[in-house]
Structure formats: structure tokens, C-alpha cells
Amino acid sequence: MQHLLNSRVRDIQISGIRKFFNLVQQYDDAISLTIGQPDFATPEHIKAAGKQAIDQNRTTYTPNAGLQALREAASTFVAQKYGLCYDAASEVIVTNGASEAIDIAFRTILEEGSEVILPGPVYPGYEPIIRLCGAVPVYVDTRHTDFKMTAALIGEKITEHTRCVILPYPSNPTGCTLEQKGIEEIAELLAGKEIFIISDEIYSELIYGETHRSIATLSTMREQTIVINGLSKSHSMTGWRIGFTFAPAYITEQMVKVHQYNATCASSISQYAALTALTEGINDAQAMKDEYDKRRVYVYERLTKMGLEVVKPDGAFYIFPSIKKFGLSSFDFALRLLEEQRVAVVPGDAFSSYGEGYIRISYAYAMDVLEEGLDRLEAFLVLNK
């Protein structure tokens, strides 16, 4: 009866990131630089809040949109950090991670035949949901603009069917982000058009040397923008599954319907832990970011000394060097690197066809792991000149 299964689901491929992560499990002596999993433990005061929630039997359903206190804390957090202003009662939803936030956003704004403009290369979690909605992903080639979307590139792709533009910055897999001028130019292009923006800002707390900028702070764009964020990266809470949507009330009241029937509510225990994260732990990301920054500099310098062409990341904890000169596909390069030197990276084609010729390295790993992994990569490059 396999032929009766939803064809859109059958056509979806498992993420290339997970494919390689799973593959590395077959090698006991392999070093994995594949997953965007912070190597820091969830801060103690957050864990304590989760334990307390269990002990106090706060294990029942919460309001669909999340605890009011948590929505208020999330609203205050983005206001203080980034100048974003959202009403906690009508414009904030607590979701099961940023992944569910993306899902309910797409399912609320997309219809059959809608077109979604997104950068290539890009995180592979968008396209499958777009296609499940019956919509069409339209990629912008950002390889010649340091992996950054520009107004000119977006303008070339806009049609009468364009429903949404995705701005996923800081970027997975490249670590790049947008400057204020670039954001303003995109806003000038899109303001007043019947086009939504999904601004995925999950790495907003991990920008080096400057403060995160959101297109939703611009008055002309607020009513068109859905901001996605969460605590997985900023507070090392990947398994707690807490994300957020911030959007105008007219969008939020529709998204909460999808969220209600999709998940009812986020975990009550995780919500109480998240409340502590956004209040007592409002600056928890700083120490982690300082360590990531040291790793970023180290990895970038090592790769450039190896002769690899690479754009220095502005944020997140990924770097995306070119391996085109070796004449191998990104998958074959990564597979041989794993088999011959026992170090795993993610093939660039996992991030759309525009990632072909690159590999993604995560530096969300301890320095000794990075050192050994890059030593093995360097040995591989020497043997394959």
C-alpha cells in the first residue's frame, strides 16, 4: 500500500546533515564536525527551573500560545536585545522549537502554487515544508555575494506568485549575516508588496563583534514579517524544544490555530525552564559566544593556511569552505575524508545545489576536537593535492 502514501511526503529526502551524522556512527574512531549542537551544558539555573516545575507538578497543558509569563519574558527579551516590539498576549507564540515555528508560519501563509524566495546555499529544513504546502521554492544564488541575499537578487526572482522571502541570518551553513544597508535595501524593495518575510533569527545571540539586526525593526516591514527565534542555540537547550514566533496580531491569530492542532502547546516543563532562561539567564549566551568566537578565529585561520577559499563567518558556529579545486563532488570529498582520515563534515549539497563544491564544518565542538579534526583534514588535503 506504499503507493497510497502522500506523494509529497514520499518525495522528501532525509536531511544531508543527518545522513552524514548517522554515517559517522559506523566509525568508532571518527571525529564528527557535523552537527550544530552546542557542546555546552544547559545552564544550571535553567535545569533547576525545569526540575522545580516537575516537583511542583507543573506538568499540565498550558495555554495554546504558551505561558503568558513566558510570552512576556520573550517579548521583553527581543525588545531589550534587538529593539523588536511585540505584544505578549496577541503577537507571540511559544512553539516546539524553531522548527515548529517555521512549520506553522509556512502553513499559515502559503497556498498551492505560492512561490518562496530563499538563498542558496541554505539550511535544508525550509524546502520540504514549502513543498508539503504545495508551494514552490525559488532559490537565489548567493555564492557571489558572500552568501548574502541582496535586494537586486531578490528582485530578479519576484513574480506574481511570490508569497514569501526567507531571510535566515545569521546563516546556517555559512555563518554570514546582513549589514544594515542590505536590510534597508531589501525593505525598500518589499515594503508595501503583498509578500511576507520570514526572518529566521535562531542564531541572533551568536553574532561576533556587533549586535543582531532584524528587518522587523523597520516600521515599513513589521506588518509583513514573521520573526522566528528560540533557545536551542542561545541557551544550549536543543532538547528542551522551545521556539518562538513574533508577528503582527493578524498573522499570529491564524498561526496559533495551526499550532493548536499541530501540538496543542509546548512542553510545560520546558516553558518554565525557558522563563528562567529569558529572565535570570538573559545574558547566558555571552560566555558561550566568547568561546565560539575563539574557535571561529582558529578554524578560519587554519583553513586559510591550508589554502582553502573561505568567507569568514559573522555569526552562528559554522564555516563553509570551498573544495572545488579538488575536482570531487562535495559528497565524494566528505565520504573520502571520513573513510581515509576518520573526520566527518557535511557535504555542501545538503544545503541545496548551490552548496555543491563546499563543505560545512561546525565549530560547536571543544578546541581539542577541532584541532584534531583539522589536523586530519590537513593531512587529507596534502595527500590529495
246 confidence band (pLDDT: 50, 70, 90): very high
Does 50 map to a domain?
A: no
In this structure, are 289 and 272 located in the same domain? no
Beta strand spans in 122-210 (E): 136-141, 162-167, 196-200
pLDDT at 23: 77
What letter represents residue 159's amino acid?
Answer: T
Residue 380 clears pLDDT 90, i.e. is over it: yes
Does 47 map to a domain?
A: no
pLDDT at 338: 94
Across the chain, mean pLDDT equals 96
Residue 15 clears pLDDT 80, i.e. is over it: no
In this structure, are 333 and 264 located in the same domain? no
Does 73 map to a domain?
A: yes
Determine the distance from the C-alpha atom of residue 288 to the mean position of all C-alpha atoms in its chain, rounded to a whole number: 17
Q: Which three cell numbers stand for residue 297?
A: 578565529
The sign one gets for the Cα dihedral 306, 307, 309, 314 is positive
Does 52 map to a domain?
A: no
- 3-state SS, residue 315: strand
> Backbone phi, then psi, for 94, in 5-degree steps?
-90, 125
In this structure, are 32 and 147 located in the same domain? no
In this structure, are 191 and 296 located in the same domain? no
69 confidence band (pLDDT: 50, 70, 90): very high
Residue 335 sits in which domain range? 2-42+284-383
pLDDT digits (tens, 9 = 90+) for 208-240: 988 999 999 999 999 999 999 999 999 999 999
pLDDT digits (tens, 9 = 90+) for 180-219: 999 999 999 999 999 999 999 999 999 998 899 999 999 9
In CATH, what number is assigned to the domain containing residue 333?
3.90.1150.10
What letter represents residue 47's amino acid?
Answer: K
